Amino acid sequence: MTLTTPALLRWQFELTWSLCEHHLDRLDAADFLWEPAALCWTMRRGADDAWRPDWADVEPDPVPAPTIAWLTWHLGWWWSVAGDHLGRRPARQRDDVVWPGPGEETISWLRGLRTEWTDALGRLTAADLARPAAFPWSADAGLTVAHLVGWVNAELMKNVAEIGQLRLLRAASGRP
């Protein structure tokens, strides 16, 4: 069987998403805010009661260990912006992407992003994949929508592996 580039990228995405579903199906609300280390990035309620990510414009050294909450927000943030670029919409800013909170609301949000993404992938042609893309790199990088879709697949795999590892560490630690 010969796969076209759009079909191969879609297959790769679906393979990664199947691992995501494996972990999403096993998460409970307490998993999201479990802190794996003293130096940790998580989601915190702001004065307006909205969830806000720990964030630094310059990456600290050492880098804080993220919680599942932070990782799911981060995943939703970059994926939302990638969808904006793919759909040729104005890109949202980091503060515009709201994390729904620990538990089923976030799982549903991520599944909704998956549906939006696969719908967009289904509309892509080879010509679409060849057009320039300026996310997540600079516009002068000379990269294309195919690179963007490949990056989403790689970034999703990384974030899903991190979520899975944290879920397993929490379960193995015996700590609430």
pLDDT at 2 over 60: no
Q: What is the pLDDT of residues 107-132, one digit of tens each?
A: 999 999 999 999 999 888 888 889 89
Q: How far apart are CA 20 and CA 116, in angstroms?
A: 16
Q: What is the DSSP letter of 58?
A: S
What does the block give as tokens for 135?
Answer: 């996310």
Distances (CA, A) of 153 to 28, 80, 101: 25, 14, 24
- Position 108 scores a pLDDT of 98
For 57-113, the pLDDT digits (tens) are 999 999 999 999 999 999 999 999 999 999 989 999 999 999 999 999 999 999 999
Q: What is residue 4's predicted lDDT score, i.e. its pLDDT?
A: 64
Structure tokens at 104: 């089923």
